[in-house]
Structure 1
Amino acid sequence: MNRVLTAVVGAAAAAAVLAGCSGGDMPPMPGHGAPTTAAQPGAEAANAADVAFAQGMIPHHQQAIDMSRLAPERAQSQQVKDLARQIEAAQGPEIHTLSGWLRDWGAPEPHGGMDHGGMGGMMSADEMAQLQAARGTEFDRLFLTMMIRHHEGAVAMARTELAEGRFPAAKQMAQQIIDAQQAEIATMKGLLAQS
């Protein structure tokens, strides 16, 4: 009888601890109405600004990768080719992380194929076509000019996340984006000045 009583008391205590840790009594995430649950780890630390940051940065990074993938066959400058490879290597893993956060938060991922021209320094479809058609030094100049604007947009988005976001890992990524892309902007402005 004592064993049964001990097991019942132990189970009740465990259930109480789990109920206290589940986050089930947390309010919905702003802008989503989705309740925070144990199935959404970290959701209790995210707010609408964090979601907007992830949803905006995914297509932004994807366009930078698309631009960078044009460089190996079109750029004349080895420095431009190296920079493009660096951009692709950094932003691909960040897209994977951002997508994972959105899944964890129960938020939709942005749809591809949209013309985001003007949003956060992104290129329009016409500008992307112009870059695709360019070769040699013309490509280098266009790539650098467009990527500077693109990076400046990403830095602005990251600063908004730092100011308004709440999810610690997203704020950390935002700071990394600011640091890395400001350094790349300085490099690109130097390359443009040499051309």
Structure 2
Amino acid sequence: MRLVLAVVALLLTGCGSGATAAAREYNPADVMFLQMLIPQNRQGIEIAGLAADRPVPASLKELAAAIEVTQQTEIEDMRRWLHDWHQPEAMDANPQAHAGHGGMKMTAPDLVGALRTAPDSEFTRRFLDVLTGQQQGAVELAQAENGTNGGVNTPARDLARRVIESRTAEVKQLLNVKT
């Protein structure tokens, strides 16, 4: 009976946090994926947050808010996994270190800065362009994680699958916003 209770407790713990025995199995591709997606998500949150106080269609404001919540939740999971694996959250700052993983998929800081200062009359169009590119970058990172030379960690690969699905759907929504 104790063994059954121990197994049930372990399974319940794993269900909520992704901390199953399989979650401890990872490779350098898993680590790099998480280390690259965390700053990419942070930038996505920053970009999405710019719509909050701008005159954009209500549907776009709702989508931007949903993106913020989703990507923050993903960051919390990724940070926990890296911590559990005793891996640093920050990646190698040398951009060449990421060439084998398809390189960083960040939006250029000058584009984000220009978006921040864009006049209201141009904001929606620019916002759609910048956020669409940013979301596509996340899809590319996730595709590398699930590719032939990608990760082996089940929760990380599942996150990559969800990123591909959700960001692809978000890009479709962004492309259909009437400006």
Q: Decide whether aligned partners of structure 1 residues 78 and 43 sit closer, same or farther in structure 2, where only a CA change above 3 A counts.
A: closer
What does 1:64-79 correspond to in 2, within 5 Å?
64-79=44-59
User: Would you say the 8 A contact 1:99–1:109 is kept in 2?
Assistant: yes
CA contact (8 A) 1:42 1:105 kept: no
Give the TM-score of the pair, scaled to structure 2.
0.77
Please point out which of 33, 37, 42 is paired with 1:62.
42
Moved over 2 A (4+): 41-44
**Displacement of 1:56:** 0.2
Please name the residue that 2:84 is paired with. Answer: 104
Decide which of 57, 60, 65 is 1:85's aligned counterpart. 65
In 2, Cα distance between the equivalents of 1:85 and 1:98? Answer: 20
Following superposition of structure 1 onto structure 2, how do residues 1-195 of structure 1 map, counting pairs within 5 Å? 44-110=24-90, 119-120=104-105, 122-163=106-147, 164-191=150-177, 194-195=178-179
Q: 1:43 deviation in Å?
A: 6.3
Change (3 A) 1:127 1:81: same
Unaligned runs of 5+ in 2: 1-20, 96-102
Residues in 1 aligned to 2:168 and 2:24: alpha-carbon distance in whole angstroms: 31
Distance verdict in 2 for CA 1:43–1:78, change over 3 Å: closer
Give the counterpart letter for 1:145 in structure 2.
D
Whole-angstrom distance in 2 between the partners of 1:156 and 1:107: 23
C-alpha deviation, 1:92, in angstroms: 0.4
Conserved? CA contact 2:23–2:155, under 8 Å: no
The answer for unaligned runs of 5 or more in structure 1 is 1-40
SS of structure 2 residue aligned to 1:123: coil
Question: How many angstroms does 1:136 deviate by?
Answer: 2.6
Task: Give the % identical residues.
Answer: 34
Count residues with an aligned counterpart.
150
1:1-20 deviations in whole A, cap 9, x for unaligned?
xxxxxxxxxxxxxxxxxxxx
Give the partner amino acid of 2:42. Answer: Q
For the pair shown, the structure with the greater C-alpha radius of gyration is 1
Instruction: Give, in angstroms, the shift of residue 150 of structure 1.
Output: 0.8
- With normalisation by structure 1, the TM-score equals 0.71
Q: Distance in 2 between matches of 1:61 and 1:75?
A: 24
Cα distance, 1:119 vs structure 2:
2.6
Give the alignment's Cα RMSD to 1 decimal: 2.3
